[in-house]
Amino acid sequence: MKKTNLSDYDASQVPSGNGRKIGVVAAEWNAEITDALLDGAVQTLLANGVAEDDLMVRRVPGTFELPTAADWMLQAHQLDAVICIGCVIQGETRHFEFICQAVSQGLMNVSLKHERPVIFSVLTTDTFDQAKQRSGGRHGNKGVEGAVTALKMCALCE
């Protein structure tokens, strides 16, 4: 099977972001990747009606800190959703497994606690090249996918 741009979407199928307040928290670690994901998410939200003043963007040191930051953002602000952006690349130790498991479970817990969508836009790849291909390369941009998912989940809650 030929892999294509996984981020292609039909804009007519994306609910309007008009009036939505969306948080985006992105890890600084692997910044070349997370910056591209962040840009994809922000541009997609703006293109789908979210006002720039209704976007709250924050940075955290690494992917492990995403659940805490999402929790704090939802506690302190009236957000409709939070998109969490990170990139964990497999290394020679089990660190990858621990981080990925903790972050995915942590984000799910935050979402359930606040009854708000907390979107997992975290790349978990074997190589840096795979991460590049999923952050604006031939396989699309996981940040774009996260923005579309956030808007669809917000509309689902109405």
pLDDT tens string, the chain, 158 residues long: the values are 456 776 778 888 898 999 999 999 999 999 999 999 999 999 999 999 999 999 999 999 999 999 999 999 999 999 999 999 999 999 887 788 899 999 999 999 999 999 999 999 999 999 999 999 999 888 889 999 999 999 999 999 77
pLDDT for res 2: 57
pLDDT for res 95: 84
96 φ, ψ (degrees, to nearest 5): -50, -50
Distances (CA, A) of 83 to 7, 13, 94, 107, 152: 16, 19, 26, 10, 12
CATH class of the structural domain 28-156: alpha beta
Element (H, E) at 124: strand 118-125
Q: What is the tens place of the pLDDT at every residue in 119-153?
A: 999 999 999 999 999 998 888 899 999 999 999 99
pLDDT for res 78: 94
Rg (CA), the chain: 15
pTM of the predicted protein model: 0.94
From the list 77, 95, 114, 139, the catalytic residue is 95
How many Å apart are CA 93 and CA 29, to the nearest integer?
A: 17
Can you give the residue ranges of every domain in the chain?
A: 28-156
Q: Under a CB-based contact definition with an 8 Å cutoff, are residues 20 and 154 in contact?
A: yes
Residue 95 bears catalytic tag? yes
